[in-house]
Structure 1
Amino acid sequence: MSPGMITFTGVLLAVGAEFCYCFNCISPLGDSVDWFMMYKVPKATRPMPKKTTGKEFYYLDANNATWSFMDVNIKEPDQNPLYYTLQQIYQKNPEKYGMYNDQPPQGSVPLTSSTTNQATGAHMKGAFAFDKDSGFWLILSVPFFPAPQKYNYKYGSSQLIKAQAILCITLDSKYLEEIEKIFDITKPMFFDGNKPFLQELPRVKDTKKSTKIVVDFKSKGGQEFREYAKSASFGADLYDSLVAPDLKDNLLVETWSPNLGSNCSTYKVYDVKKVEFKDGYWFKSTIDHAKWAVTENRDWACIGDINRAKSQFRRGGGTMCLRHAGVAKQFRNLIPEEYGMYNDQPPKSSVSMDIKQETSGGHMKGAFAFDKDSGFWLILSVPNFPAPRKQNKPLLKKFNREMNYYSSGPNGPIVTDFITRKGQSFRGYAKSASFGQDLYHPLVAVNLKDNLYVETWRPDLKTECSMYKVYDVKKVAFEDGYWFNSKTDHSKWAVTENRDWACIGDINRNISQFKRGGGTMCIHHAVVAKQFRKIVKEKEECP
């Protein structure tokens, strides 16, 4: 007998001694737990930090709300919370239990005639068991699962390929009536359960024929949950039409094969395209069958059984949301930071992801990375740099589409003010390939209303001597005596002659750059501007 089996048997004997069946969620240690979440990983199809077989999972619960990787076989008993929890159905024969799945296990027979139509029946998967005191409710995304009571626990090999999400909640038996109300609206497909009990469902009927329901729950341990569910007649997406408006926050949603696109109404609903755990393990939504959501700013995280797809408008289904700051943060952290690296002279080992690679592309070099709260932007002049980390293709494709659109749109430049997290003022100047002029003279100097000293690589434009002059810097010298001339200087910077602005960018004062996009970022800072003015040793004067 495995250690896990020994532990679980011990739990049964202990509760038996108290003459209480006490249906609960069970942890990997075999102990009762108020609630838990599992994120089963997909079978690895590429080199990864972990060579996963699809049997492993990440786990968190009421006692430790941090994702922990469990190198455990979900098909086997040992340290498997899903196995331990369902054994209460297989071993105890509860009076009130049910198993439902729109894709039931092979060989099972639907127990309710009104829900046998898989095309319009509820898109719901789960199981529950209650005695007179308490019970558990499993909400999951796994097809053909769980096995009916007569077959005992089985997790099919076909379900190892994709990622899946599982939620278990320990509830007081009084909530069984609320669950029945949800089932009355959603119409799940029951394939196993206590027949006398299921035949009575729903004992409390919805006389108003509602198409949606929102129910608040509290676990046995006092944790706040909220269930959102809809009927087949609801005719809309659950997340943007019910969950987001009720929670009054934007939602980040991961579901299987979403085809609605991100919803950008009052409360936005974003489709998650990639999941990445803190240890570096990641996978794309194309192999993720889980259905979860998290608020962008508030403390709600949800696991459910319905997708963001048009076909689901006419299917019942729902999601159960947990109000927990730590868990919400854990889910938000699964969404990788947005980052990109760009360079008109990229590292030789890298592969261009741009859709516009000819010489009229932007003469720009830099990198950025952002999470949901903050980020950084590096603007630099270094060719063949930085080395690639890994390609964030969905984000970069989005930027490329926007760049392509902009280059065929207005020819004018853009001026944008920025303020850092600590309150420092910056101003960015940028132009498209269609601008057809120098960036510094007609844009930066005129906007800042001051003369400019400009250092760029091999300028072939003479010093501009109009109303606001633009001087080419010929030599740079620091206070310690170190100096060099512009022939060995690949940097691109500028400083106002009298005002408090200093700039670093990525485009040169060169005729060839008239047809290149590029820009410069200026800081409004008296001391920094003074430091740049002090290093101007020689400049090209006006005639």
Structure 2
Amino acid sequence: KAPYQRGQLTGLEYIYIGPDAHGKVTKRTGTDIKGILANTLRPIFTSTMVSVTDFGFISYSDQPPDGRSVSNTHGHSKGVLMVDKTGDQGVWLLHSTPRFPLRDQNIFWPNGGAANAQTFICVTFKYDQFRAIGNSMKPTCPHVYPLTFGRSSQRSLCDLSFKYSLSNISPVLLLTVGDLYVSIASLPEVNSDLYVQTWLERSGTPAKSFCPPQGKKVQNIESIHVTGLGEWERTKDHSKWCVATDQNRPWTCIADVNRADSQFKRRGGALCIMDKDITDTFSLFVMRAELC
């Protein structure tokens, strides 16, 4: 999603990357009740759906909609998990937007949500994979707020909160304390230099590009360019993502945490996907990076 830019962008336009429209700029805004976000979240807006026996969801955020302060012992992470046992599938929406989503389809977007650029990744999984997803999320200790689940979903959703085991799921889920992006670059599956976009925090010390004599480089993106939307600086971009520079390893990750000293003590993770079209699209967003 683009940031607000006076006279140029309302801060609600977005670019959609999916199997049917890689890199398509949409004129619909993020707040549109007929748009992609609203349609994805429709089940949690619908009172009849949240009472269905086989449907359940949890929302988690370090900046929840009610504005309450969340302890730093919880992960710096935001997202929604929805499962439908009858349909044998579920959705994981990982995002970077504070105070999102409100439980009202007409006003689900938060006040102030237009100011900065944000990212959202939505992945559909089979129903039986959600226990593995939840177990793997346990180390991040996400702050979960209003939890709703049907009777049949109750066991698997409760299990998500209390067990941890390593599981092989795709896309890859990564969890760490420290510099998440250095860890990603060093993974055998990725093994590539990275360009990284994260929020330039106003408090604390931002981490410089990581350029060791040996090993993989992690370079901070300083400005973004999106065809059809324009250009903006890192100071206007609250999104968290990285893209591999090795064309033979086309990995893109949407993540939870920023590259800042204060964040290296916070828990967080990333959803990573190996897809050439997605990686090519994200690579084109990089207008200028911080040199080593």
Q: Could you say which TM-score interval applies, normalised by the shorter chain?
A: 0.7 to 0.9
Aligned to 1:257: 200
Partner of 1:229: helix, strand, or coil? strand
Matched, 1:185 2:134: no
Conservation of the 8 A alpha-carbon contact between 1:252 and 1:271? yes
Partner of 1:174: helix, strand, or coil? helix
Aligned to 1:155: 109
> Shift of the alpha carbon at 1:107?
6.3
Q: Deviations over 1:170-209 (max 9, x none)?
A: 1101210111112211110011222655554435335xxx
Letter in 2 for 1:291: K
Partner of 1:71: helix, strand, or coil? strand
Partner of 2:119: helix, strand, or coil? strand
Partners in 1 of 2:163 and 2:288 — Cα distance?
Answer: 46
Radius of gyration: which is bigger? 1
> Shift of the alpha carbon at 1:59?
0.8
> Shift of the alpha carbon at 1:228?
0.9
Matched, 1:106 2:66: yes
Q: Residue 130 and residue 184 in structure 1: after superposition, are their counterparts in 2 closer, same or farther (change >3 A)? A: same
Choose the corresponding residue for 1:310, options 256, 261, 272: 261
Q: Deviations over 1:378-422 (max 9, x none)?
A: xxxxxxxxxxxxxxxx77xx9xxxxxxxxxxxxxxxxxxxxxxxx
Partner of 2:286: helix, strand, or coil? coil
Conservation of the 8 A alpha-carbon contact between 1:102 and 1:189? yes
Gaps of 5+ in 1: 1-39, 109-115, 207-212, 219-224, 339-393, 399-543
Letter in 2 for 1:83: A
TM-score, normalised relative to structure 1: 0.47
> Shift of the alpha carbon at 1:96?
2.6
Conservation of the 8 A alpha-carbon contact between 2:131 and 2:159? no
Conservation of the 8 A alpha-carbon contact between 2:3 and 2:236? yes
Partners in 2 of 1:192 and 1:251 — Cα distance?
Answer: 36
Partners in 2 of 1:281 and 1:128 — Cα distance?
Answer: 32
Conservation of the 8 A alpha-carbon contact between 2:138 and 2:162? no
Partners in 2 of 1:216 and 1:268 — Cα distance?
Answer: 26
Partners in 1 of 2:144 and 2:241 — Cα distance?
Answer: 23
Conservation of the 8 A alpha-carbon contact between 2:63 and 2:70? no
Question: 1:213-228 alignment to 2 at 5 Å?
Answer: 216-218=168-170, 225-228=171-174
Aligned to 2:28: 72
Conservation of the 8 A alpha-carbon contact between 1:122 and 1:189? yes
Matched, 1:326 2:277: yes
Task: State the aligned residue count.
Answer: 269
Q: Deviations over 1:93-128 (max 9, x none)?
A: 1633100000000267xxxxxxx8422210010001
Choose the corresponding residue for 2:191, options 244, 248, 262: 248
Partner of 1:158: helix, strand, or coil? coil
Higher relative contact order (CA 8 A, sep 6+): 2
Partners in 2 of 1:333 and 1:58 — Cα distance?
Answer: 13
Letter in 2 for 1:62: P
Partner of 1:129: helix, strand, or coil? strand
> Shift of the alpha carbon at 1:82?
0.6
Aligned to 1:354: none
Partners in 1 of 2:286 and 2:195 — Cα distance?
Answer: 9
Question: 1:83-232 alignment to 2 at 5 Å?
Answer: 83-91=38-46, 92-93=49-50, 95-106=55-66, 117-132=70-85, 133-148=88-103, 151-152=104-105, 154-194=108-148, 196=154, 199-206=158-165, 216-218=168-170, 225-230=171-176
Aligned to 1:41: 2
TM-score, normalised relative to structure 2: 0.85
Partner of 1:144: helix, strand, or coil? coil
Partners in 2 of 1:316 and 1:168 — Cα distance?
Answer: 21
Letter in 2 for 1:104: P
Letter in 2 for 1:43: Y
Q: Residue 145 and residue 52 in structure 1: after superposition, are their counterparts in 2 closer, same or farther (change >3 A)? A: same
Partners in 2 of 1:52 and 1:304 — Cα distance?
Answer: 25
Partners in 2 of 1:188 and 1:99 — Cα distance?
Answer: 9
> Shift of the alpha carbon at 1:326?
1.0
Partners in 2 of 1:74 and 1:180 — Cα distance?
Answer: 27
> Shift of the alpha carbon at 1:135?
0.6
Letter in 1 for 2:174: Y
Identity of matched residues, %: 28
Partner of 2:29: helix, strand, or coil? coil
Partners in 1 of 2:240 and 2:90 — Cα distance?
Answer: 23
> Shift of the alpha carbon at 1:143?
0.5
Partner of 1:302: helix, strand, or coil? strand
Partner of 2:112: helix, strand, or coil? helix
